[in-house]
Amino acid sequence: MSSRIEVLYRVRSDAKSIAARAKGIAVEQSVEMPVEPIDDPYVLRETLGRVDDIKDMGDGTFEVRIGLASITTGMAAGQTLNMIFGNTSMQDDTVLVDAVFPPEFAEAFGGPRHGLDGLRARVNAPRRALTCSALKPQGSTPAALAKLAGQIAAGGIDYLKDDHGLADQTYSPFAERVPACAEAVAKAAARTGLPTRYLPSLCGNLDSMRRQIALARSCGLDTVLIAPLIAGVDTFQTMVKENPDFAFMTHPTMAGASRIMPSFLLGKFVRLLGSDATVFANYGGRFGYTPEECKRVSGFALQDWSGVKPCVPVPAGGMVLERVQEMLDFFGPDVMLLIGGSLLSTRERITAETARYVDAVRNYRAGQPS
């Protein structure tokens, strides 16, 4: 029999209904029709979903493990998402917790092309945690954003990304903003002697993203931001495959929070598709993720996976300089910290404040009082 993806769902159910409910998910996510009239032995043996395990969690929910035939995904990103969660995303009683992919998925999708080691090498930081900030607010002109980019780069930041809301708007067209910011960062980097990277945010359809990454390359850039849930995961995979020289940071916008566990979606799945660095909402910020789930995102992004490089976890969302010590104690050194808005709030002191942030990360020692 051909290989299966082992998909783990958490289902709210009573004990007497769970067997039928589990079978319902296995059917929904495969043949999507009553099984009884199916007489094709290939379908029954190879493509019909299979309930492999049901575990009573004792809290009114069950963990249901279902084997879905790899072959039904066509080894395409969107169809994989369609098969592991598609219609079941519309069931209020079910959460997608995790999926274990057979080895051919790593081969087909390839994972991060650069990953943790690649992103460290780009900025000559072989061991320490990496630093990142964001260009905001939208509505600013390319000149204003370029000025800000230069000020932050002058503070010695490793990575500086567009806010994911910076797209291709009339007040800041991609084709004007990106060369302006790239130039400002390059000038500042020449002065600091540090290889700060600027990441434009790709937007629109595959055609426009291809034009955008070509423009980014022509500006000397080698790292970009993309939002896979907005772009579509097939668009994301295509960009990764076509641009092996580029590293991709992924943004979690539209990832939701309650139906797919962030650890799977943002830790494992975007990594499989080629995310080199995965932004996720850290605990204690503007979003409701728990420390445990954030640790799982980080764990999934970094864990050993044959043929798939580690992806850098990027906790974000309302982070502040005062939390650097705590965050590094929590996540360890294999992390990129993203502090955006609170840094921008320091206005004319932004270069000095960035330098303070960069120093805090560089000089971090585990377990010191903050």
Residues 309-328 that bind its own copies (CB under 8 A): 317
Cα-Cα end-to-end distance for the chain = 56
One residue of 46, 52, 104, 117 binding its own copies per CB under 8 A: 46
| Candidates 42-50, 188-196, 293-301, 362-370; binding stretch for its own copies (CB under 8 A) | 42-50
- Give the span between the Cα atoms of 184 and 219, in whole angstroms: 11
Q: Compute the least distance from the CB of residue 32 to its own copies, in Å.
A: 6
Whichever of 71 and 190 has its CB closer to its own copies, that residue is: 71
Strand pairing class (94-100; 4-12): antiparallel
Q: Tell me whether residue 139 is exposed, middle or buried, using C-beta atoms within 10 angstroms of its C-beta: 0 to 12, 13 to 18, 19 or more.
A: exposed
Q: Is 3 in the site for its own copies (CB under 8 A)?
A: no
Closest approach of its own copies to the CB of residue 46, in Å = 6
Chosen residue from 23, 211, 222, 238 binding its own copies by CB under 8 A: 238
What's the residue count for the chain?
370
Query: Counting contacts by CB under 8 A, is residue 21 touching its own copies?
Result: no
| Whole-angstrom distance, CA of residue 16 vs CA of residue 25 | 16
How many whole angstroms separate alpha carbon 249 and alpha carbon 279?
7
User: Which residues, 95 to 134, sit near its own copies by CB under 8 A?
Assistant: none
- Out of 6, 52, 93, 334, point to the residue binding its own copies (CB under 8 A): 93
Binding string, residues 134-173; x marks residues near its own copies by CB under 8 A: --xxxxx---x------------------xxx-xxxxx--
Q: Cα–Cα distance between 92 and 127 in angstroms, integer? A: 43
With the CA atoms of 81, 84, 85 and 88 taken in that order, what torsion angle do they form, in degrees rounded to the nearest 10?
150
The stretch near its own copies (CB under 8 A) out of 4-12, 74-82, 149-157, 185-193 is 74-82
Residue 313's alpha-carbon distances to 106, 159, 266, in angstroms, are: 19, 14, 9
Binder to its own copies among 82, 117, 143, 295 (CB under 8 A)? Answer: 82
Choosing from 42, 292, 304, 367, the residue that interacts with its own copies (CB under 8 A) is: 42
**In this structure, are residues 211 and 174 in contact, taking their beta carbons and an 8 Å threshold?**
no
Q: Report if residue 48 touches its own copies, rule: CB under 8 A.
A: yes
The mark string for 248-287 relative to its own copies (x by CB under 8 A, - otherwise) is: ----xxxxxxxx---------------------x----xx
* Region near its own copies per CB under 8 A, out of 25-33, 58-66, 119-127, 151-159: 25-33
Least CB distance to its own copies at residue 43 (A) = 4
Among 203, 224, 321, 338, binds its own copies (CB under 8 A): 203
How many Cβ atoms are within 10 Å of 195's Cβ, its own excluded? 13
Tell me if 28 contacts its own copies by CB under 8 A.
Answer: yes
Number of shown-chain residues binding its own copies (CB under 8 A): 85
Residue pair 97/79 in contact by the 8 Å Cβ criterion:
no
The SS3 of residue 62 is strand
Residue 226 in tokens: 């993309």
Binders of its own copies among residues 290 to 309 (CB under 8 A) are none
d(CA 86, CA 294): 24
